[in-house]
Each structure stands twice: as structure tokens, then as C-alpha cells.
Amino acid sequence: MNFDLYGFGPALLAGTWMTIKLALSALSLGLVLGLLGALAKTSPYKPLQWLGGTYSTIVRGIPELLWVLLIYFGTVQLMRNLADLLGIESLELSAFAAGTIALGICFGAYATEVFRGAILAIPKGHREAGQALGLSKPRIFWRLILPQMWRIALPGLGNLFMILMKDTALVSVIGLEEIMRRSQIAVTSSKEPFTFFLVAAFIYLGLTVLAMIGLHFLEKRSSRGFVRSAG
Amino acid sequence: MNWEVIIKWLPRLAEGAMLTLELVAIAVVAGLILAIPMGIARASRHWYVRALPYGYIFFFRGTPLLVQLFLVYYGLAQFDAIRQGPLWPYLRSPYWCAILTMTLHTAAYIAEILRGAIQAVPQGEVEAARALGMSRAQTMFYIILPRAARIGLPAYSNEVILMLKASSLASTVTLLELTGMARTIIARTYLPVEIFFAAGMFYLLIAFILVRGFRVLERWLRVDACQGR
């Protein structure tokens, strides 16, 4: 083992930063998609229910790696058509954008179920109370349902975020320079695959631990005023 | 959508799907066998028994499968002792590396499921078994494990589906399973959307069959009849 990592330390650090950026942007996209999916699934309209259900079922049944590859390689023709339409020379999805979209879609599909559970867990009386006070439907959702959903959905979302963070490694397959890609580059020149992949593994472990600590505080904050029920 | 191409390459994709099924089947069965002692140790009352499986589970659940796969497939070659060792013919082949990594990976998750299931067995039933004069080992084998198997089965079926999806990573170490086969075909036809779509349908189909199969197994083991407390 060589502890100065042959000067690849800064490169790995840059890769870590890229991983964090990717995870956070996929998280933002996924939260929006998940919320929309859950709203569609719990809505009284049949077509919307069907749409939400199909989205979460199909996306969850297909591997994340396939989504990453599909979004990256599958949109080339689409982007070309779009470029022709807009009259731009060339238009293509960067590896970062493709990774964000693919991982966001996958996160959203699982988050749909988590959010749906949270919406259903809110007592009906709260919604009725809002109606009795004359609040409009969107207002009831924003001011009454959403703030309470957050607390119930947080543990589930936390688990999903940990999975998302590990899935960011898949985006190295399409060449995004995150931790895995940087370690692969380091391996080609140092010829020490075990060392560098082990370092990568420990970086991921560190990120997981950080996320766990962050989640612990978020959960503590969001459950202020609630007694933790036993069992 | 070019359907003719999809139909033309369907047999090759089915070939890939067979390898996917093979990888998943071996991994989840071997993982389960490995996980049983680990899960029992993880549910132990003594901290020194708990510590080792905890470390194992922490590492395998905290790092991406891709890293683990690369550690085994590319990483092990760094050591001369392994390259000269008797296991090298196996550790050199992507097939065995993928199976080894997936087994170790899923074993960590299954052990955690098993720990949860063992701890969810009602205390009264354990005490009843002890009161009937069963030894600790007998209680474990005749009462706790059969009960825990039923409690943990739904979670285990989830894990199998997750492994089905995780098996697509084997394509990164040159294995021609479903995803790898799809990528190979795309390299020849330049039709990513059609072929990935077809591969995705294969995954959905397999997942659907697995879900159905586990539902039958749950009915056969009468899982719902054991839920009443």
C-alpha cells in the first residue's frame, strides 16, 4: 500500500465532489417526480392513478444501470431532432445530465411509494378541517398535508438517498468523472487496482456515514413535539 | 420503434436473460446459506458475537456493488499470492467473480433481514419453547427459525428483485447477461432505444414472474396465518 496514492488524492477528492453534486441534483429531481407520482396515485382521477402506478411499477422493475445507459445513449437521436427543430448546430446530453435524469427517475419511482404512504397516513380529519376553514385544495396540500408528510416520509426517503448515493457509481459507466471513474483512471496508471478501489469503497462508506448523521438530525428536527411511540 | 430488429435479436436477449437468471439464482441461494449463521450471530445478546457480522454488513451495505465487483475482479490480481494460488482459475473468470461478489453482497442484506425477523419472533413463543424443556439450539431450529423465515419472506422476495436488477452490473466485467447482451447487440445495430427497451421488458417480465412465484410460496408457507399476534 502506498499512502500518498501516487498523487491521485486531489483527483479522487474532485471525484467525491462530483458524486455529491450528482447525488444532490438527482435527489432534487427525484423528490419532485416522487411527489408528482404520489399525488397522481392518490388522486381521485383514474387516468392519473394509472399514470402514477405505471411509472412506479415500470421504473422499479428495470435496473438502474439500464436506465443510465438508456437515457445516455437512447436520447442521442431525440436530441438531434430537437437541435434540428431549434436550429442549433448540435445538442447532446452530458453524462452529468443523463446521470441526474436516470437516477432522478429511479429515485422518484421509489419515492412515489414513500410519499403515497405518507399521504395516506395523514388523518382524514385534517383535510376536512382545512375544507371547513374554507381553504382551497392546493392550499390544503401545501399548508396542511405537505408539512406533516415530511415527518412520516423522512425515514423512507433517507433509505432511498443512501441507495441513490451508491447508485451514483453506475454513472461512471458513461464516463462521468466521479469517484469510480477517477479510481479507474488512477488504476490504469498505477497498476494497483485493489488499493484504489478500496479507497473508493472507503470514500463511499464515509459518505454513507455522513448521510446517516445528517438524517439523524433531520429526523430529530422534523419530529419535534412528537413522542416517539414504543415498538 | 423498429420492431423487426427487436424480434430478430430476441433469441440472443433470451440467452442473456438465462445467464441473468442463473447469476441471480446462485447468488440469492448461496447468499441465504451464508446469511443464516450471520443473521443468528447478529441477533446475539453478546456484543463480541455481534461485532464481526456487524462490520461485514456495514461494509457491504455501505459501498456500491460496482466497487465490490471491481475490488474482486480487478483488485485481487494485484496480489501475487492470489495469482499463484489454487483459486486463481476461478478468480480470473468474470463469471465466478460476479457470482462471488453478488453472493457476498446479498448475504449482508439477507443477514440484516434475518436479524430483524429473528428479533420480531414474539418473546412468549421462545419462552414457551424453553418452558417445554427445549434446549437453546432446539428452540432456534424448531421455533425461532421457522417463524423468522415466514416473517422475513416478504423482505427476502424484495431482496431477490433487487438482486435481479443488481445483476445488470455483471455486464461491466464483460459478462454477457441481459444488459451485457443488449450492449453488445447495440454495438452492432446502433439502435439503443429498441434494444434497451426489449431488455427492459425482459427484466419486467422476470420481476413479474418472481413476484408471482413468491406470492405462491407465501401462500404455501401460510405466511398470513402466522401474522396474527
B82-123 pLDDT tens trace = 889 888 988 899 999 999 999 999 999 999 999 999 999 999
CA distance B31 to B28: 5
pLDDT band for position A151 (cuts 50, 70, 90): confident
**What ranges do the domains of chain B cover?**
3-226
The C-alpha torsion from A69 through A70 and A74 to A75, rounded to 10°, is -90
Nearest to A169 among B67, B192, B199 (CB): B67
C-alpha cell at B179: 444488459
| Interface test mutation site (partner A, options B56, B59, B66, B185, max chain A beta carbons within 10 A) | B66
Total length of chain A: 231
Q: Does A194 touch chain B (CB under 8 A)?
A: yes
pLDDT of the residue at A4: 67
| Structural domains in chain A, sorted by start | 17-176 (1.10.3720.10)
Count of helices and strands (H, E) across chain A: 10, 0
Q: Does A9 touch chain B (CB under 8 A)?
A: no
pTM of the model as a whole: 0.90
Mean pLDDT over B212-218 rounds to 93
* Strand, helix or coil for residue A90: coil
Q: To the nearest whole percent, how much of chain B has pLDDT over 70?
A: 98
Complex ipTM above 0.90? Answer: no
Q: Decide if B67 and A69 are in contact by the 8 Å CB cutoff.
A: no
Mean pLDDT over B179-199 rounds to 93
CA of B220: how far to CAs of A89, A179, B192, in Å? 62, 46, 42
φ, ψ at A62 (rounded to 5°): -115, 135
Q: To the nearest whole percent, how much of chain A has pLDDT over 70?
A: 96
pLDDT of the residue at A230: 47
A40-51 pLDDT tens trace = 999 999 999 999
Q: pLDDT averaged over chain B?
A: 92
- Determine the distance from the C-alpha atom of residue A72 to the mean position of all C-alpha atoms in its chain, rounded to a whole number: 17
Q: Is the pLDDT of residue A84 over 90?
A: no
pLDDT of the residue at A225: 77
CA of A183: how far to CAs of A169, A186, B113, B206, in Å? 11, 5, 32, 34
Mean pLDDT over A23-45 rounds to 95
Which residues 142-181 on chain A approach chain B with CB closer than 8 angstroms? Answer: 166-170, 172-173, 180
Q: To the nearest whole percent, how much of chain B has pLDDT over 90?
A: 81
Residues of B in Cβ contact (< 8 Å) with A208: 62-63
pLDDT of the residue at B208: 94
Q: Does A210 touch chain B (CB under 8 A)?
A: no
Q: Which fold has domain B3-226?
A: MetI-like fold (1.10.3720)
A211-221 pLDDT tens trace = 999 999 998 88
B9-36 pLDDT tens trace = 999 999 999 999 999 999 999 999 999 9
Q: Which residue's entry shows cell 494460488?
A: B85
Minimum distance, in Å, between the CA of residue A178 and any CA atom of chain B: 12
Find which of A3-7, A106-110, B46-50 is predicted with most confidence, using mean pLDDT.
A106-110
pLDDT of the residue at A74: 87
- Give me the helix-helix angle, B47-62 and A193-222, nearest 10°: 100
Mean pLDDT over B42-57 rounds to 91
Minimum distance, in Å, between the CA of residue B132 and any CA atom of chain A: 28
Minimum distance, in Å, between the CA of residue B79 and any CA atom of chain A: 9
Mean pLDDT over B32-60 rounds to 93
Nearest to A62 among B59, B66, B204 (CB): B204
Task: Report whether B91 contacts B128 (CB < 8 A).
Answer: no
Q: Is the pLDDT of residue B150 over 50?
A: yes
